[in-house]
Amino acid sequence: MLKQVRILVSGRVQGVYFRAFTQKKAKNLGITGYAKNLTDGRVEIVASGSEEAIDQLIKWCYKGPITARVDHVETESLNGEAIPPGFNVS
């Protein structure tokens, strides 16, 4: 069963390769979606994949890459969103 989520990550998460590492992790887990910087300093991740894969991605977001400092992770379930193939960074 597919699970779709929107994840918002706060802290020192821009300019530290957070999106690139998220893309690598998502691809390894077979997750589609995207990661992008928001103007308020957070990173937004929209992801679709198996429940187990999404849960692993969310868990990873609490730590992030070694260059990041994650202060807060917020998740929201999505239903039936049109999520593009692959995993893109913008």
DSSP annotation string for the chain: -EEEEEEEEEEE-SSSSHHHHHHHHHHHHT-EEEEEE-TTS-EEEEEEEEHHHHHHHHHHHTT--TT-EEEEEEEEEE-S----SSEEE-
Q: Residues 19, 28, 42, 88: which is the catalytic one?
A: 19
- Is 42 in the active site? no
Q: Residues 6, 12, 28, 37: which is the catalytic one?
A: 37
- Is 79 in the active site? no
**Residues known to be catalytic:** 19, 37
